[in-house]
Amino acid sequence: MTSRVPASRSTRDRVLDAALLTFANYGFKGATTKEIARKAKVNEVTVFRLFKSKRALFAAVISERSPVIPIQEAIDLEPKTTVEEMLRNNVRIVLSTLRKNKELYLVMMSDAWRQPKTRNLAYEASIKRGIGLVATMMARLMDAGKIRRTDPEIAARALMGTVQFYFLTTDMLGDGVPKSEEEERMIRGLVSIFLDGMKAGQGGVQE
């Protein structure tokens, strides 16, 4: 895991970047504002001027470095070609973004769940926001008759839960990023299985 923070970033961004790396390496308890300041190349006073406490900084990292932000900017909510290709491409984007934000994932997995307030913030900033984004996509596909009508949130959880579990068992707990051809086979399989259960005209939970 890299320990360098780009000097070209604004002071606030450098502190957030440094905090993310430090929390990921040492956890909330082990991380110090002194180390964060050193990585950000600022005085420790500057850290407290920008963020009133270490916990406030921790909360800002989770909120402002949420991977949902770049995912929201990159994914398609409506198909430009086929539904299959749109979902495959969106899954690729999600996996790529999670990998670029692996440090934040580590922070959330290792510390956020221990602290109720921080856990709730992590849920609102990442999980709930991400589910809402994908649920919007599902609702639009249902309205267009592309997939059967059911609860969009359940559909979103079904697809993204599978993708998150795949990321967890490969990148975080497994042998690392699979070979591109193996991952592509997995993505196609996940999307195919999902769409087999969501074909328009099939029965299911009705709104």
% of the chain residues with pLDDT over 90? 63
Q: Give mean pLDDT, residues 190-196.
A: 96
Q: Give mean pLDDT, residues 164-172.
A: 91
pLDDT tier at 138, thresholds 50, 70, 90: very high
What the block records as the tokens of 1 is 């895991």
Average pLDDT, the chain: 88
Q: Which residues contact 77 (CB under 8 A, 6 or more apart)?
A: 136, 137, 140
- How does 109-145 read in b/e, with b if 16+ C-beta sit within 10 Å? eebbeeeeebeebbbebbbebbbebbbebbbebbeee
Using a cut of 0.75, tell me whether the model's pTM lies above it. Answer: yes
Residue 42 is classified by DSSP as S
What is the tens place of the pLDDT at every residue in 64-104? Answer: 988 899 999 999 999 999 999 999 999 999 999 999 888 88
Structural domains present in the chain: 11-63 (1.10.10.60), 66-196 (1.10.357.10)
Hunting for tokens 């769409």 — which residue is that?
195
Query: Hey, which residues does 199 pair with through a beta bridge?
Result: 147
pLDDT tier at 8, thresholds 50, 70, 90: low
Higher per-residue pLDDT: 185 or 105: 185
CA distance 51 to 74: 30
Residues 171 and 99 sit within 8 Å (Cβ to Cβ): yes
Higher per-residue pLDDT: 21 or 207: 21
